[in-house]
Structure 1
């Protein structure tokens, strides 16, 4: 699970300098794992998670042999290896106003067939905003404006193909408060950007199919550790991407990313001009069916074919935004 360190918090509107105050909250960091991709079954929940922003883990894999022969197992084949259903813990929705994905999915034809993502809406249609209303010190208009900023950032970060392959992250970075931008730019070379945005690995490409999206958005008024009033918006989404593959097994070309991000906008009366705008307080994510070496660098690519059958819980868990992000790693 990746826990993106929060972007430094907005500077209060007082005469003290930023150096005197420092930036809060501090980024939560943890080094990413150095393990090379193992011989994983393609739809064994091949998860790499970020914590701090990029946290990896490894879980043991059992190789199954039958008459001395092992076979490649796709999504449906993976399900057949299960001995019994295992329930993952679910997460509780945060308090406050919220909205969940409600758009109807397109006809299920193509790379998502045979997976839960076939029932998800396409692209931005899967991002539903809750009703804006006055919340704490924030007016209805301020809430509506904040939700619009968050939705635009989500579309850029997870659905904008030009951003996926751009040499720099400015298409997304410029949507944030000026004081937040330097740290966000630094997330690209560090690989930490993967906890809240999609960047394709060199040579990786998507099919023409729009990504499938499912999740929810909620918001509430609160205060940061220095007492600055903020409107915190929590997003929790599953993003399913289709990559070209020669495999005919359902889901073999689908990469899934599940993230939760806490975005915030400070009250304009509490901060200086440079701190007005969007910030990231925290982000967590994991991914499935990925190239682990690329993921460790914050980049997305389809995983390599693997062999053997796993002993692992429900593979559908990676498609469910209500499941915990604390799932087993196989990277």
Structure 2
């Protein structure tokens, strides 16, 4: 068995021409041709005279104002129109073959207005460990029900530490995590944390990043089956597909402004003990992929998680913004950093 590789505007609206003034430039009104003594200049006539003498300047100002109002109106109408559009669908994936179980999506307590997840789909997710529901352990291929139960428990423990344990998130507990895996793969696991390729299956907070006291919200699915790896070794393959929502401290009151989402799919292998040497017995991390949303891109490039800079206005992409909270959304996403 080989060690797993590092897991790895539309054009602006044309401006309308300023409205015509109704007079030819330089045209002399008829009343000015009459002797002044026969037609005293009253207030109304002075206003007319002012208009004729300043027709170009006034027209430019009024016309420019109308254009500005029009452009602002078009802009607001476009925002209103886009806000009212039905969001586009998004690519989804199907559950892998095998025995599956999905999270209980009923939170322990309803989200209150003060809850950092209020107003987002994560408000309906379970809190922390309660979001990881294991399927029933059954005899599968060459693996007994007891072996399946043990493998599922090992995967769950690794997930709890890697994604939810506060000490681990803060940068500790690496040795504890690595020891959860088969001895033969521990060196490659440590290498992942040296070259920052661990983010596909584990969470480390950036220096200075501060979570709220709220437990992360969790939703996903665990599936297992008996199969063989690329070397023909019999393995129990466990696939986990989860969304992890973290609440970071922020002064922005917008719902979800402080929520960073990580969506991962991880394939874990437990080889049959009769097919490998003693050092190969245990848990292996075979494949992993993930994406994150609302995070600090520069820090995430280093494998570290922190809240991204706030953004305002509607996104250019009209995909349903709640898509990132869906465990069935495809992990094939465009890089927005």
TM-score, with structure 1 as normaliser: 0.77
**What SS is found at the alignment partner of 1:146?**
helix
CA distance in 2, matches of 1:246, 1:179: 46
Please tell me whether the aligned partners of residues 3 and 188 of structure 2 are also in contact (alpha carbons under 8 angstroms): no
**Gap regions ≥5 residues in structure 2:** 12-70
| Residue in 2 that maps onto 1:228 | 233
**Secondary structure class of the residue paired with 1:197:** coil
Residue 43 (structure 1) aligns with: none
Distance 1:24 1:92, change over 3 A: same
Question: 1:140-159 counterparts in 2 under 5 A?
Answer: 140-159=145-164
| Partner of residue 86, structure 1 | 88
1:118–1:80 Cα change, 3 Å: farther
Aligned to 2:274, what secondary structure does the other structure show?
Answer: coil
Give the match for residue 107 of structure 1: 110
Which one is further off, 98-107 or 108-117?
98-107
Distance 1:78 1:296, change over 3 A: farther
- Deviation at 1:174? 1.0
State the Cα distance separating 1:107 from its structure 2 match: 1.3
What displacement does 1:84 show? 2.9
Higher helix share: 2
* Structure 1 pair 311–305 and aligned structure 2 pair: CA distance change class (3 A): same
**Alignment partner for residue 326 of structure 1, among 325, 332, 335?**
332
- 1:272 and 1:288, CA in 2 relative to 1: closer, same or farther beyond 3 A? same
Higher relative contact order (CA 8 A, sep 6+): 1
Aligned to 1:302: 307
Matches of residues 137-286 of structure 1 in structure 2 within 5 Å? 137-167=142-172, 169-286=174-291
CA distance 1:137–1:206, shift in 2 (3 Å) = same
CA shift in 2, pair 1:178/1:260, >3 Å = same
1:103 & 1:307 partners in 2: Cα distance? 30
Aligned 8 A contact 1:79 1:315 in 2: no
For residues 185 and 82 of structure 1, the distance between their equivalents in structure 2, rounded to whole angstroms, comes to: 49
In the alignment, is the contact (CA less than 8 A) between 1:78 and 1:310 conserved in 2? no
Cα deviation 1:160-215 (Å, max 9, x = unaligned): 01101125622211100111111111111211110000000011111000000000
Separation in 1, partners of 2:313, 2:202: 32
Q: Distance in 2 between matches of 1:136 and 1:320?
A: 31
- Partner Cα distance (2:285, 2:3) in 1: 11
Q: Residue 79 of structure 1: CA displacement? A: 12
Deviation of the 1:24 alpha carbon: 5.1
State the structure with more CA Rg: 2
CA RMSD between the two structures: 2.5
How far apart in 2 are the matches of 1:80 and 1:252?
21
